[in-house]
Amino acid sequence: MPTKDYYKILGVEKTATADEIKSAYRRLAKQYHPDLHPGDNAAAEKFKEVNEAYSVVGDPDKRGKYDRGEMDMGAGGAGFNPFGGGAGGFTATGFDDIFDMFSDAFGFGGKTRRRSSQAAVGSDITYQIELTFMESILGCTKPITFSRLEKCPTCHGTGAKDEAHLKTCDKCGGSGQVRHVQNTIFGQQITVGACDKCGGTGKIVTETCKACGGKGVITKNKVINVTIPAGVENGSVLQLTGEGNAPRSGNGRNGNLLLEFSVKPSALFRREGYNLYVTVPVSYLTAVCGGQIEVPAPDGVFVHNLPEGTSNGETLRFRGKGIRTPRGAVGDLFVTVSVEVPKGITRGQKKALEQFESDNSLKNYSKRRAFLDEIAKTYPQK
Ligand SMILES: [Zn+2]
Ligand SMILES: [Zn+2]
């Protein structure tokens, strides 16, 4: 059985109508609202209790269960917790209409809402830059052309024809902010917001600037040389602070220019982090006898002496020969040897190879030798 008499808490009869319960709840909730009793724990407790009671008997379904003694009144009561979020914030949990009422009356988080006094900030511009793979790993400087909003040079962002046509706003007195005082049952409620007459600028334009049509900004084509650091990746973004649009209402900070890189893949290199991977096809003779191979690297092609007897698929690692970033990250270069089996050889070349094979016994082929030994072991001759 429930231990709390919710009807008693709300001060109504068990037979009260839904409307009677609702108005009793509203009256009590206002009476004990924490905003009217700062620091008063007893009032806060009472407020909670009233809310809990209403969460049950204010809901026809729950009220029925409560009346029949079917409500589980264990820990957490009926599961109502209007203070769920903690940190002093009210979290409306299924109490939309009632909490709308409160949020209208109080505002979440305080009675006075202040307009942020931050200056206007222009919007960001995203610009796609195509880079070759080598440009991306080495870095480069590129001129880029884009259009952005800039402060109108004729009116200096005011939007007015001249100083004489720029008056101080009579509604806000030039502050750009107005206070709204509302009389509510809780007392006076004061909100501060942007002045609707001047749009928060504090100034009224009586004749607009012809150059910008009163907007305070004009669209301009801009060419800038962008220095792209070494090591940027496909899809990465470089932010150029303050190179974006000017704010539409004239003065304030510019937005940013966001350069998004689209890197074309390389036919030579594959990249993983700052490491580079390259496959070098090697002739049959070079693999067998050793010799010089050309290895592509970020700073050019270098020659490497391949030792004799290098197998297909062997990988060589060159430390520090990968991508180097201005921030000091250094990757490695991994070179995989791909021994190419010659095709379309002449009769004479074939003869020479047969000569080579007949001169060579199995001792030159360690893997083949081991393989044949394994076959012999796996399939013993009867
Ligand atoms: Zn202008
Ligand atoms: Zn104003």
Give the Å distance between the CA of 145 and the centre of ligand 1.
23
Query: Which ligand lies nearest the alpha carbon of 212?
Result: 1
Give the Å distance between the CA of 197 and the centre of ligand 2.
5
Give the Å distance between the CA of 192 and the centre of ligand 2.
12
- Max mean pLDDT among 99-103, 205-209, 362-366 falls in 205-209
Q: What percent of the chain has pLDDT over 90?
A: 47
pLDDT at 307 over 70: yes
Give the Å distance between the CA of 122 and the centre of ligand 2.
21
Whole-number pLDDT of residue 357 = 79
Whole-number pLDDT of residue 148 = 94
Rounded Cα distance, 301 and 321, in Å = 11
Give the Å distance between the CA of 218 and the centre of ligand 2.
24
In the predicted model, what is the mean pLDDT of the chain? 83
Decide if 102 contacts 186 (C-beta within 8 A): no
Whole-number pLDDT of residue 317 = 97
- Please, what are the domains in the chain? 6-106 (1.10.287.110), 120-159+209-265 (2.60.260.20), 162-207 (no CATH), 269-339 (2.60.260.20), 350-378 (no CATH)
- Max mean pLDDT among 41-50, 69-78, 168-177, 309-318 falls in 309-318
Give the pLDDT mean for 339-354: 92
Give the pLDDT mean for 3-27: 87
Give the Å distance between the CA of 299 and the centre of ligand 2.
61
Give the pLDDT mean for 164-168: 90
Give the pLDDT mean for 131-157: 94
Confidence of residue 3 (pLDDT cuts 50, 70, 90): low
Give the pLDDT mean for 357-377: 85
Please report how the helices 18-32 and 96-106 are oriented relative to each other, as an axis angle in degrees rounded to 10: 30
Whole-number pLDDT of residue 111 = 34
Q: pTM of the predicted model, to two decimals?
A: 0.58
Query: Which ligand lies nearest the alpha carbon of 199?
Result: 2
Confidence of residue 263 (pLDDT cuts 50, 70, 90): very high
Lowest model confidence (mean pLDDT) among 55-64, 85-94, 283-292: 85-94
Q: What percent of the chain has pLDDT over 70?
A: 86
Confidence of residue 72 (pLDDT cuts 50, 70, 90): low
Give the Å distance between the CA of 162 and the centre of ligand 1.
9
Helix/strand/coil (H, E, C) string of the chain? CCCCCHHHHHCCCCCCCHHHHHHHHHHHHHHHCHHHCCCCHHHHHHHHHHHHHHHHHCCHHHHHHHHCCCCCCCCCCCCCCCCCCCCCCCCCCCCHHHHHHHHHHHCCCCCCCCCCCCCCECCCEEEEEEECHHHHHHCEEEEEEEEEEEECCCCCCCCECCHHHEEECCCCCCCCEEEEEEEECCEEEEEEEECCCCCCCCEEECCECCCCCCCCEEEEEEEEEEEECCCCCCCCEEEECCCCCCCCCCCCECCCEEEEEEECCCCCEEEECCEEEEEEEECHHHHHHCEEEEEEECCEEEEEEECCCCCCCCEEEECCCCCECCCCCECCEEEEEEECCCCCCCHHHHHHHHHHHHHCCHHHCHHHHHHHHHHHHHCCCC
Confidence of residue 244 (pLDDT cuts 50, 70, 90): very high
Decide which of 38 and 378 is more confident: 378
Give the Å distance between the CA of 143 and the centre of ligand 1.
28
Confidence of residue 38 (pLDDT cuts 50, 70, 90): confident
Whole-number pLDDT of residue 93 = 35
Give the Å distance between the CA of 199 and the centre of ligand 2.
6
Lowest model confidence (mean pLDDT) among 116-120, 270-274, 288-292: 116-120
Whole-number pLDDT of residue 382 = 66
Whole-number pLDDT of residue 95 = 38
Give the Å distance between the CA of 360 and the centre of ligand 1.
89
Query: Which ligand lies nearest the alpha carbon of 153?
Result: 1
Give the Å distance between the CA of 150 and the centre of ligand 1.
10
Give the Å distance between the CA of 203 and the centre of ligand 2.
6
**pLDDT tens string 73-122:** 543 333 343 333 333 333 333 333 333 344 333 333 333 333 344 467 89
Query: Which ligand lies nearest the alpha carbon of 176?
Result: 2
Give the Å distance between the CA of 225 and the centre of ligand 2.
41
Lowest model confidence (mean pLDDT) among 35-44, 158-167, 226-235, 266-275: 35-44
Whole-number pLDDT of residue 39 = 74
Give the Å distance between the CA of 218 and the centre of ligand 1.
7
